Chains A and B, each alone.
Chain A
Amino acid sequence: DVKVTQSSRYLVKRTGEKVFLECVQDMDHENMFWYRQDPGLGLRLIYFSYDVKMKEKGDIPEGYSVSREKKERFSLILESASTNQTSMYLCASSLGSSGAFFGQGTRLTVV
């Protein structure tokens, strides 16, 4: 079974803090993704990566950056957290054009 693990289930951070969300997958998948889920808006793609050190902007990249130094790990960085970044963050991985496997999610609250 594919396992995608996100480092935290719940996080509370202060406005202006730099926040790191970590994601690790154990199936040697080439593609990794960061989504956020908000009520009424579904899942929106923030950034994705198709190879080590490669990254592409998704639909809502503003205020975020990513890092992929190793194939199994994809990090999402909030440079200066704001209250409108309070959300459920979901990491996913996939192989080629197959469907994506998701982690359990990180509920981030910015106060």
Chain B
Amino acid sequence: DQQVKQNSPSLSVQEGRISILNCDYTNSMFDYFLWYKKYPAEGPTFLISISSIKDKNEDGRFTVFLNKSAKHLSLHIVPSQPGDSAVYFCAASAPHTGTASKLTFGTGTRLQVTL
């Protein structure tokens, strides 16, 4: 049962344009959402996050939007740059008691930014 879904396995965008990566979730208990970026043969690196009490969070070229009623979030990258080419993972966590707050990941979207 995939609780976090990234339905687009790949996306190609021209340099300078906007990249929009989408993520859907099914667990209404999730209250914190993150995006990670991963290059081949490296571990994922944290990009940006959003709490469920917000609907938007911005950090430079990266903006994450959260639509709780639709259980949908998206990552916008503008302008896209060749160095943004990587696999992007959406992740979510739920409140916890007595144990670690673990992240549930989506399957990833491979972004290719072309010249």
Contacts and interface: CB of A to CB of B under 8 A. Distances in A.
Nearest to A91: B43
Given A99-B34, A99-B49, A105-B43, A42 B108 contact: yes
Nearest to A58: B102
Nearest to A93: B100
A4 B43 contact: yes
Contacts, number: 69
B26 interface: no
Interface class of chain A by DSSP:
strand
Contact of A42 (B32, B99, B100, B107): B107
Chain B interface residue number, banded: 20 to 34
A93 to B, nearest CB: 10
Among A41, A43, A49, A90, residue most surrounded by chain B Cβ atoms (within 10 Å):
A43
Contacts of A40: 9, 107
B94 to A, nearest CB: 10
Nearest to A43: B105
Contacts of B34: 99
Contacts of A50: 98-100
Contacts of B9: 40
